[in-house]
Amino acid sequence: MYAFDFERPSTLDEAVAALGAEGAQALAGGQTLIPTLKQRLAMPETLVSLTGLAELKGISASGGVLTVGAASTHAEVARQTDHPGLAGLAGGIGDPHVRNRGTIGGSVANNDPSACYPAAVLGSGAMVVTNAREIAADDYFTGLFETALEEGEIITALRFPIPEKSAYVKFEQPASRFALVGVFVSKSEGGVRVAVTGASEEGVFRWSEAEAALASDFSPAALDGLSASAENLIGDIHGSPAYRAHLIGVLTKRAVAAAA
C-alpha cells in the first residue's frame, strides 16, 4: 500500500472535520478498503478511522424499530434477536474473521453490488441515519458502489422497522462466496418487500412483481409462474444474466418459505 496519514477521532464532530480534508477517506472495519489499499488500487492521503466514535455503537430495539449503530460488527448484528431475518443475514456474511471486523455502516456505505446488507436495508425499508440527515432506503442506493451519501457524510446508524416475517437467502458465488444472488423478503404492516442483491448491473433492487404477488398471499406458491427479467443483470464466468434471473425466482421462493 501507499503511505497515508492515520487519524482516529473520538467524536463524530471531529470525524466529520477530519473527513473534510482533501484526500481523506473513512475507514470502518476495513474488510474492503484494506485489501484495496494493499493492491495499491486506492491512494488516500489520510485514513480516518471511525472505530473510536461512541455515537456509532450499540444495538437497541424500541417501538418496533431496531436501531443498529453503524460501527456494529456483523457478528454483533448476528447476535441480536429482535430482527431474526437481519441476524440470519449478518451471520452468513464472509467468515468469522470478516464478521468480527466488518461493520454494517461500512458495508452499506460501500454498497458493493454483491454485498448482503443492502438487501436487508432495502428489503426492510430501513432508514439510513447520517451525521446530517435520515435517508430512506429507497432513495439511498443509487448504483454500483454509489449511494446518496455526500462527500464526507458519515452513516451513524441504520433503523430497521421490525417486520412480522423476514428472511434472507443467498446463493454463493463459488470463488468469493459473495452473493451471486441474494434475496431478502419481509412482510410487515406496510406491505411486502423483496430486495435482490448480487444480480444487477445497477446494484440492489426491489422485485416489484414479486412484491405484488406476495402482498395478497405471502407463500411460495404465490410466485408460481413469475420470472424475473434478465435485462441489466450481471453476466460473468460464474453465471449468465439468464441464470441469475432464474436464481432470483428460486431464492425468492426459498426466502418466503424460510420467513413464513
Give min distance, CB of 223 to another protein, in A: 13
Give min distance, CB of 246 to another protein, in A: 7
Per the DSSP assignment, residues forming a β-bridge with 239 are 236
Residue identified by cell 441515519 is 129
Amino acid at the residue 133: R
Amino acid at the residue 76: E
| Closest to 53 in 3D by CA, of 90, 83, 107, 17 | 17
Name the one range near another protein by CB under 8 A: 21-29, 47-55, 209-217, 232-240: 232-240
Residue 246 as a binder of another protein (CB under 8 A): the answer is: yes
Give min distance, CB of 133 to another protein, in A: 34
Of 6, 39, 97, 216, the one binding another protein by CB under 8 A: 39
In terms of CB distance, is 64 or 174 closer to another protein? 174
| Closest to 22 in 3D by CA, of 49, 48, 46, 6 | 46
Residue 175 as a binder of another protein (CB under 8 A): the answer is: yes
Cell readout for 177 is 462466496
Q: How many CB atoms lie within 10 A of CB 49?
A: 16
Give min distance, CB of 175 to another protein, in A: 4
Q: How many CB atoms lie within 10 A of CB 5?
A: 13
Residue 29 as a binder of another protein (CB under 8 A): the answer is: no
Q: Would you tell me which residues interact with another protein (CB under 8 A)?
A: 39-40, 171, 174-176, 178, 237-240, 243, 246-247, 250
